[in-house]
Amino acid sequence: MNSEAPRSLLLVGADPTSTEPLLRHLLAEGYALSVAHSLRRCLQSLKEETVALVILDATHSSPLLEPWDLFQQASTVADIPWILLVRDRLEVQKALALGAADALILPLHLGEMVARVHAILRRRAGSPVARRGRLYADRDLLIDLETEEVWVRGEKVALTPRERALLLAMARPAGQVLSPDWLIWVAWGEPAPETQRPLLKQCIWRLRQKVERDPKRPAIIVTHRGEGYELRRTWPGEDG
């Protein structure tokens, strides 16, 4: 294996016994690994660790981890490739349609799995497309998703850690509506009791003061009543 390739992986699964053989094999191949068996632990790892690739067992669920919901939401937290382990070809198609870098049907051939991991990381390290994917840009915003620096209409702006976490979470899947509960997970790192909802609204309000041309008529951070919030791209020539 190329020693220069990124080697830090996150292995996520509701059933520890199903991922244990893969865990042992990847460790033997020299990869550094973190393991998560819950939504909380997965999100914490994505926020606090330098993860090069996520491997998710989508064949098992638990009260703490629903894999398909996790993938659709947590893949927005960081610009990281995901490999999903699935049951059949229909789930392969579903995973790829949702943006997975790869999907493999269980049971695995462990040698093939390692080859797929290495190929994705090698492409990731050298791909101009991957490097471009580190930037979010439109008429009003420029966000470096790697350094987490933000410019609004050419001026660098200072954000609090929670404001930054919310904006980055919305930027990575720009155009997707994210639920309040998920955004609270991202910014506060814990479940979303009712007491956190007003704090989220306050944080969104402060963000709008910093990024919107007219905070009273938001065109960038858009509310979808009953659903959540969307970071909507703005383009030259649009009103706002």
Angle at CA of residue 155, ends 152 and 159, nearest 5°: 65
Same domain? For 13 and 126 the reply is yes
Mark whether 113 and 173 lie in a shared domain: no
Percentage of the chain surpassing pLDDT 90?
A: 31
Q: Which residues of 44-77 are buried (b: 16+ CB within 10 A; e: fewer)?
A: ebbbeeebbbbbbbbbbbeeebebbebbebbbbb
Per-residue pLDDT, averaged over 33-60, amounts to 89
pLDDT at 169: 83
d(CA 193, CA 184): 9
Residue 150 located in a structural domain: no
Pair 124, 167 in one domain: no
Report how far residue 152's alpha carbon sits from residue 146's, in angstroms, rounded to the nearest whole number: 17
**Domain end call among 94, 116, 131:** 131
Q: For the chain, how many structural domains are there in total? A: 2
Q: Which of 131, 151, 173 is the last residue of a domain?
A: 131
In a domain, 188, yes or no: yes
Q: 120 and 174 in one domain? A: no
Global pTM value: 0.58
Examine residue 218 and state whether it is found in any structural domain, yes or no: yes
Residue 50 lies in a domain: yes
The 3-state DSSP class for residue 209 equals helix
Q: What's the mean per-residue pLDDT of the chain?
A: 83
Task: Answer yes or no: do 89 and 47 share one domain.
Answer: yes
Same domain assignment for residues 71 and 120: yes
Residue 168 reports pLDDT greater than 90? no
Q: Are residues 125 and 12 in the same domain?
A: yes
Domain assignment present for residue 66? The answer is yes
CA angle at residue 211 from 165 to 129, to 5 degrees?
Answer: 60
* CATH number of the domain encompassing residue 214: 1.10.10.10
CA–CA gap between residue 110 and residue 154 (Å, rounded)? 48
Whether residues 19 and 101 share a domain: the answer is: yes
Do 104 and 179 lie in a common domain? no
pLDDT at res. 154: 85
Domain that holds residue 163: 159-231
Strand 155-156: give its sheet, edge to edge.
135-137, 141-144, 150-152, 155-156
138 within some domain:
no
Domain boundary among 111, 131, 151: 131
Judge whether residue 240 has pLDDT over 60.
Answer: no
| Whether residue 200 has pLDDT greater than 80 | yes
Q: Does residue 195 share a domain with residue 110?
A: no
Domain-located, residue 200:
yes
For residues 78-85, average pLDDT: 87
Same domain (yes/no): 26, 98: yes
Indicate whether 126 and 166 sit together in one domain. no
